[in-house]
Amino acid sequence: MSLLTIGAVGIYRDLAPIAKRISAQTTVAADPAAPVHPAAATGGAAPASPGTAQDAGSVASFAQLLVAQIPSEALLAYTTLLAVFSAATTGYQSGRWTLYGLSLVACAASVMGTYLTKRNYTFADIPADKSRQLRHQLRHLPLLPTVTAIAAMAVYGLTIPGSALQHATSGTGFAIIAGCLAVGGGFMMSLFVPFLANGNGANARPHTDNGPAKQTPASH
């Protein structure tokens, strides 16, 4: 289920050291002054200092990250709803485009929701003052994973038979455009993989009701 997986990638990127490869097993350092040291993706010793374990799934390789970007759940729902328009050979263009736009919003909401549900830690730069927390919380949303899911849906949502693009072009034109979009979409997603595979240096810390014990600036 790729939308759930790409949301989990946001967890991995938070916990991995900046510019270092993400791994499938991660631990949030207990000491606010200590760096985060995720365990190896294939197993291995956990950090010596106690911390909070964070299991987000199993995504680490190039191929896994490439496939994770394909919003399969959204595409399935989108294709199913397009079937509602199949009885009409023409018309309903506004409905098809509206459905296409809503599918992009659904992708963003699903990725964000998965990330926020799985995340059980906070960040060292989140202030204790709740009135000042919103801006800092927004900085740590999984923007890159969300953008990749939306971009993939934007491309592949146009290549599906019955889409608004098909009804806006001739049969031959749609076949050519859809083929180009499919190939270009795969290339586009391969460009995202190196960035998704690296940590973002978010400086994650175990979550407490009183907030982080010590505020240290996060490096991005």
* Counted domains in the chain: 1
Radius of gyration (Cα) for the chain, nearest Å? 20
**Which residue range forms the structural domain that includes residue 139?**
2-206
The pLDDT, as a whole number, for residue 106 is: 93
Mean pLDDT of the chain: 78
161 has a pLDDT exceeding 70: yes
Give the whole-angstrom CA distance, residue 31 versus residue 214: 9
- Asked whether residue 89 is domain-assigned, the answer is yes
**Domain presence at residue 218:** no
> What is this structure's pTM?
0.76
Q: How many CA atoms lie within 13 A of 124 on its CB side?
A: 23
Residue type, 29: A
Residue 217 lies inside a defined structural domain of this protein: no
CA 214 to chain centre: 29
* pLDDT tens digit sequence for 111-151: 999 999 989 888 888 887 776 778 888 888 999 999 999 99
In a domain, 211, yes or no: no
pLDDT at 26: 55
pLDDT score for 93: 84
Note whether residue 214 is domain-resident.
Answer: no
Q: Is residue 219 part of a domain?
A: no
For residue 11, is it within any domain? yes
Mean pLDDT of 144-172: 92
What is the model's pLDDT at position 219? 43
Any domain includes 216:
no
Nearest CA to 31 out of 19, 9, 48, 43 is that of: 48
**Token duo for residue 102:** 């809503």
How confident is the model over 200-208, as a mean pLDDT? 81
Residue with more model confidence, 201 or 46: 201
- Count the Cβ atoms, other than its own, within 10 Å of residue 2: 22
The confidence score (pLDDT) of residue 126 equals: 83
pLDDT at 43: 42
